[in-house]
Amino acid sequence: MPHPTQVVALLKAQQIRHVRLYDADRGMLVALANTGIQVMVSVPNEQLLGIGQSNSTAANWVSHNVVAHYPATNITAICVGSEVFTAVPNAASVLVNSMTFIQSALVASNLDRQIKVSTPLSSSIILDSFPPSQAFFNKTWNPVLIPMLNFLQSTGSHLMLNIYPYYDYMQSNGVIPLDYALLKPLAPNKEAVDANTLVHYSNVFDAMIDAAYFAMDFLNFTSVPVMVTESGWPSKGDSNEPDATLDNANTYNSNLIRHVLNKTGTPKHPGIAVSTYIYELYNEDLKPGPVSEKNWGLFNANGEPVYILHLTGSGLVLANDTTNQTYCTAKQGADPKMLQAALDWACGPGKVDCSAMLQGEPCYQPDNVFAHATYAFNSYYNQMGKVPGSCDFNGVAAITTTNPSHGTCVFPGSTGRMNGTMVNITAPSMNSTSSAPSVRDLYNLCSTSFLVFLRALICSLVFL
C-alpha cells in the first residue's frame, strides 16, 4: 500500500471529500488531519467481542482512535464491525452492546452529536428482496436487528448497507439482465414491476434499497434512513466471471454516481438520494480468492487510474490528470540508503537543480529522503524528456500519473492543475512511524446526493 501521506495526496488531488476506513489506522488518521476530509472509522470485527463485553474497553477504543484525533481529523461516523451477521456471526450477540458502549463513550466526550454510530450490513440478510414490498430481514437475526434498529432510530443514525448488484446478477442464473444490474437505461417494458405496488424498477440498486426500507417497515421502523457503505463492480475476473470487465466496472460506477447525484431517489422515496460509498479506492493485488476480488479499485497502488469514469456534462471524473501527465516518484518500501544514493546521484552527476529542496525553499518540507528523492527523480525524468528508462534509479523509482506537487512546491512537468482545479496538497510529514493499513483494511470512496461534480468528483455525506 502507498504511504498514508500518498493516499491523502491522491484524495486531495481528486477532491474526494469523504472516505471510509476499515480500521482506525493511526498513520491514516494523522495524514488526514487538517484536510477537511470527512472520515468514517471502523471497529474491526476481531475487536468486537472485547468491546461488546466491556464498557471500559469501548471507552478506551474511542479515546485512542477518535478523541485523540478529533477535531483535527474530521471523523463523522464509527462503523462498528463489518457485515457481522454473515462474517462473524458468533460476535452478533455483542453487536448492539458494542454500539451502545461506543455511543456512551462519545456522549461522555460530548461528541455524540458530531459522530454517529452504526454497523454496515450485507444485503444478503434481506430475504425475498424482489418484489421489494415483500422483503423482510432474516428472522434469525431479529433478536439483534430489532434492538439495533431501535438504537439507530434513537440516535438519528443510518442503516448502513453493502449493496453489490454484481453478485446479485452473477447468482441469478440469467434471471437478472446485465443492463438491469449496470443501471443502464431500460425501456419501460424491460423494467421490473413490483406486483403488489405496480411500481417499476429500472435497476437492482434501487430495488435493494427499497427492499431494505420495506424490511424495516415490516418491523415498524419507518424513520431510519439507508446509507450504502459499499457498492461497486470488479474490472477483471476469472474465466467464469466474464462480466467482470473494465467496461462494465466503468459503466456501473459512472451510472451509479450519476444516479445518486441526480437526486432521483428510489421509487419508495423519490427525490431522496442515498449517500453511497464506492468500493474501493485501490486494487488489492495480494488479496486471496478469485481474480475479481483483487480488482474492485478505481486506482492501482501507484496512483494510476484503473479506468476513467465518464459522466455526461461532467467531463472526466476521477482521472488523475486530464492532460495525461506522468511523473516519476520514489517507490514505497524502497531502501532508504538506496534512495539516498540515487538522490545524491541525481543532484550531482545527474545535473538536477535541487535548490528547491534547500531549507526555506518551497520543496524542503517534508524533510525526508522519500520526499526529496521524489522531487529529484521527477526533475531528472523531465530533464530527460520523460523517456521510460529515465525513471528507474536502480529500481527505487516508478512512473505515476499522480501529481506529487503539494502546497507551493510545484514539481517540474506539472501544470499546477489537476482536473481543471488547482492542486493544493499540504501533506503531513512522511516521517510517520505508523505502517500503512493492511491491504483489506482500506478505503472506500463516496458518491453523494448533496454536491455536484465541479471538474472532479466531490463527495458529500451529510448526517442529519
337: Cβ contacts below 8 Å, ≥ 6 apart: none
C-alpha to C-alpha distance for 168 and 190, rounded to whole angstroms: 18
State how far the alpha carbon of 448 is from the alpha carbons of 133, 228, 390, 423, 435, in Å.
25, 10, 41, 22, 30
DSSP string, 361-390: STT--S-SHHHHHHHHHHHHHHHTTT-GGG
**Residues 108, 86: Cα–Cα separation, whole Å:** 32
* Residue 132 neighbours by CB distance under 10 Å: 27
Q: Which three cell numbers stand for residue 161?
A: 448497507
The x, y and z cell numbers of residue 221, run together, are 421502523
Query: Catalytic residue among 46, 230, 293, 304, which?
Result: 230
Question: In this structure, which amino acid lies at residue 324?
Answer: N
Q: Is 110 helix (H, G, I), strand (E, B) or coil?
A: coil
The answer to whether residues 372 and 346 touch, using CB atoms and an 8 Å cutoff, is: no
Q: Could you give the CA distance from residue 306 to residue 340 in angstroms, rounded to a whole number?
A: 31
Q: Which residues, in sequence order, are bridge partners of residue 400?
A: 327
The residue behind cell 488479496 is: 287
Does the annotation mark 230 as catalytic? yes
Radius of gyration for the alpha carbons in the chain, expressed in angstroms and rounded: 23
Residue 462: Cβ within 10 Å count: 12
> Angle, nearest 10°, between helix axes 142-155 and 95-108?
20
Cα–Cα distance, 46 to 404 (Å, whole number):
36
Q: Which of 66, 47, 67 is nearest to 57 (CA)?
A: 47
Among the listed residues 46, 83, 284, 293, the single catalytic one is 83
Q: How many CB atoms lie within 10 A of CB 249?
A: 26
Nearest to 330 by CA among 281, 418, 395, 284: 395
Cα 175 from Cα 185, distance rounded (Å): 18
Q: What is the Cα–Cα distance from 257 to 162, expressed in whole angstroms?
A: 16
Q: Are 210 and 268 in contact (CB under 8 A)?
A: yes
- Catalytic site positions: 83, 230
